[in-house]
Amino acid sequence: MFNPRDFHAPQSSYSKPDLLRSSEGGYFGPGNAQLPAPPMLMMDRITEISLDGGAFGKGHVAGELEIAPDHWFFACHFADDPVMPGCLGLDAMWQIVGFWLGWSGSPGKGRALGVGEVKFRGHITPDVRVVRYEVDIRQARRGRLVLGIADGRVLADGACVYLAKDMRVGLIAPRG
């Protein structure tokens, strides 16, 4: 298994080209965490990432997605009532937790393992300009199974529309 730090020097933020390189694989080394490719890549940039920030002092990540009225999900989710599916906001936060695990030096491929609770307080429509994902790492286990547990929220133009508690993402070692 490859050490992610041998392939990547951690940065405090990431641009769209950085995230696209991550989706191609190998950003954190062969067989390690990567983001999904478009259209499932649910962010345009990571504006903040840390090992010790956030509500629990164990890590924080913030990412953003610029909304365009022609985003693929508006055309196929509720005909004549375009809204971003809530599951995509949850998936974006799982993506962020997996990215953080690789960024922080853990090897393996990311997999969403569950969520304790999700609350929807609003929705994301084509008139929203920017969606912001804020994730606070509650716990990172780095044994045989690497596991990140986090809480997060999704904001649409600054208003909180989704809350998630106990999101779980694991890094699975490649079979060898």
Q: What is the residue whose two structure tokens read 């890549």?
A: 41
The number of angstroms, rounded, from the C-alpha of 139 to the middle of its chain's C-alpha atoms is 16
Calpha distance 124→143 (Å, rounded): 38
147: left (phi over 0), alpha (psi -120 to 50) or beta: beta
What is the maximum span of the chain, computed from C-alpha positions, in angstroms?
A: 49
Report DSSP state, residue 131: E
Q: Which residues are catalytic?
A: 77
Task: Tell me, letter by letter, the H, E, C secondary structure of 27-43.
Answer: CCECCCCCCCCCCCCCC
Structural tokens at position 31:
């067989």
